[in-house]
Chains A and B, each alone.
Chain A
Amino acid sequence: MADTATASPAQSIPPKRHFWTEKRRSQLTAYTFISPFFILFAIFGLYPIIFTIYLSFFKWDAIGPMKYVGIKNYDLIISDPTFWISFSNTIIMALMGTVPQLILALFVAVMLNSALNKFKNTFRILYFMPNITSIVAVTLVFSTMFGNNGMINWLLNNLGLDSVPFNSGWWGVKIAISTMVLWRWMGYNAIIFLSGLQSIPTDIYEAARIDGATRGQQLLYITLPLLRPFILFVTLTSTIGALQLFTEPYVFLGQGGTGSTRQEGVTMVTYLYSEAFRNGFFGTAAATAVLLFVATILFSVLNMLLSSRMGGDTGGKRA
């Protein structure tokens, strides 16, 4: 007891019923330990989000006085065709980059987990490698491959197909950007699926095998339902990430000094960025951020609904 007292200089002689009991002191310690996160989050996370909503009702160039304009900012962006193009581009690229990617990732994860695979660690590392490159680097490398006279068009020509204008075509740009997203994240998501697969006890498979279930049946009726929380996690984070798409289009479309808000590839965040930091319209940019936030929430909820539906169905069939 005496030792404890010397260890805390502020309260030198703690009498039994002193306010600073051992319990209180340990609680205070815990709050102190976790406080940096909450302080920083309050300043750089929560406050900015609330202020963004507030800002979306004002006209402001970030320097002069703020002027209340009601919902005019929302009116302005809703009647701006570029906003709608950015919205549909974001959704289209989110689908193109995410859906094939997650299906492939699941497939790869199953193969990585397969007993057939004698080089698990090596393949895991190789498949994960794309994720360590920065998005800027990925975009630069893929720009060389997707050039008009680049390797991909050369491949297409050799297969008897026409060249695709990946730099400028409506679909070309989207295909190029989605490919970059797919390449960088497929292995990452496969690794997360893999950890889900490894958490499924193997005796379930043995029991199914004894019952005569084929590989396909095992995948459909055991693996997928048990993997559901992981599938939900991965689709959720991928969707949220896809809606924030910025760096790939910004860098890719900015090549050679062309604008990053070209219609083929402008996304909601590039639209937001150029509204605020190029045009100085912080109000409309804030309104864009709010709409993006709403879209994010809607898509997350949709995701959760779909995945609970999906899991319910397969579970029902099996039972």
Chain B
Amino acid sequence: MSSIAVRKKPDEPGVLGKTFFYLFMIIGALVSVFPFFWMFVVATNDKDAAFQMPPLLTPGTHFFDNFSRVLERTDFFRALLNSVVVSSAVTVSVVFLCTLAGYAFAKYEFPLKNVLFVCVIGTMLVPAQLGVLPQYVIMAKLHWIDSYKALIVPAMVNAFGIFWMRQYIASAVHSELLEAGRIDGGGHFRIFWKIAIPVVTPAMATLGILNFMNVWNDFFWPLVVLKNKENYTIQIALQQLFTNKDGLDFGMIMSATFTATLPLLIVFLLFSRWVIAGLTSGAIKS
């Protein structure tokens, strides 16, 4: 071991180097995780815990107290339900339609295919907020303001999903399998449904989780189209808690924030491998 260490000197750091390495990594990890912990600490202590000096770092027992004040102020569970309905509907649609389109781009030949695919990718670089005024006007004309439809319909299919499914289908679904299906007399959609879908469910799951998180966390568009309290998504409801003129009750705010974040945190920790795999592949397009 030691004889090798001498030869490899330029790239085999010693104990000190390793210590610094882990020290840096651990500090970074702590910074990444601390706000979650802090959220929990403030949520479980009484009102003024956020500004105690030195900072309070132990969870307390006031969570339900704090949370009951959330319920006095806003219909938290209604907002949670709205978010669940909208995020689920969008996700089901995105997964289905993106898989369908990705399948067509991966396994069919048709005129202008490459041009159209480049168009799909190109739309990813157009910031969505730029069209917000006409989008709002469209929603008003359709009488969709304050309805789930305004949140669901425009988001039903997206470019990232098509790209991601195309990449996966191109390598995971063998064309011979599809040929065989066609010779057996399967219709196009039947082949897609019975042969392609079962092979690509992992990619669909990743897309589903990523999409669910994005819709769940969206703020700008719901803020524009939701006017009525009953229709608020969870993000709007959280923001509303923060605009209280007579002093901010951070115990209350953090108990709501924590409750709204926890479901995503659990889903992420359960499926982290898929989530991270999905994101990295998104970058490989360039």
Please list the residues of chain A having a beta carbon within 8 angstroms of any beta carbon in chain B: 3-4, 6-8, 25-27, 29-31, 33-34, 36-38, 40-41, 43-45, 47-49, 51-52, 55, 62, 108, 111, 114, 116-117, 121, 123-130, 132-138, 140-145, 147, 149-151, 154, 183, 187-188, 191-192, 194-196, 199, 209, 212-215, 218, 229-230, 232-234, 236, 240, 243-244, 246-247, 250-251, 254-257, 269, 272-273, 276-277, 282, 285-286, 289, 292-293, 296, 300
Contacts and interface: CB of A to CB of B under 8 A. Distances in A.
- The list of the 3 closest CB pairs from A to B, nearest first, reads A48-B131, A3-B185, A195-B280
Contacts of A151: 38, 55
20 contacts: A7-B187, A26-B188, A33-B108, A40-B156, A44-B131, A52-B131, A111-B25, A124-B272, A134-B219, A135-B217, A137-B257, A151-B38, A233-B283, A251-B239, A254-B239, A255-B242, A269-B129, A276-B132, A289-B131, A289-B132
A31 B188 CA distance: 12
B184 A256 contact: no
B279 interface: yes
Contacts of B242: 140, 143, 251, 254-255
A115 to B, nearest CB: 9
A10 B263 CA distance: 48
A215 to B, nearest CB: 5
Interface string B177-212: 000001011111110100000000000000000000
Contacts of B247: 256
Given A133-B264, A141-B257, A293-B130, 19 more contacts: A26-B108, A27-B110, A37-B98, A37-B120, A43-B138, A48-B133, A51-B131, A52-B130, A55-B133, A129-B33, A133-B35, A133-B261, A134-B219, A141-B254, A147-B51, A188-B279, A229-B286, A234-B283, A244-B129
A229 B159 CA distance: 20
Interface in B1-45: 10-11, 13, 18, 21, 24-25, 28-29, 31-33, 35-36, 38-39, 42
Contact of A7 (B50, B186, B272): B186
Contacts of B125: 236, 240, 300
B97 interface: yes
Given A29-B108, A49-B130, A154-B55, A233 B186 contact: no
B133 A289 contact: yes
Contact of A111 (B21, B97, B243): B21
B116 to A, nearest CB: 7
Given A141-B254, A188-B279, A134 B116 contact: no
A195 B273 CA distance: 13
Nearest to B258: A137
Interface stretch (B60-68, B69-77, B99-107): B99-107
Interface string B74-110: 0000000000000000000000011011011100111
A14 B152 CA distance: 40
A255 B243 contact: yes
Contacts of B248: 255-256
Contact of A149 (B53, B129, B130, B135): B53
A141 B254 CA distance: 7
Contacts of B153: 40, 44
Contacts of A256: 243-245, 247-248
Contacts of B190: 7
B133 A30 contact: no
Nearest to B131: A48
A25 B137 CA distance: 38
Contact of B138 (A25, A44, A124, A282): A44
A130 B265 CA distance: 10
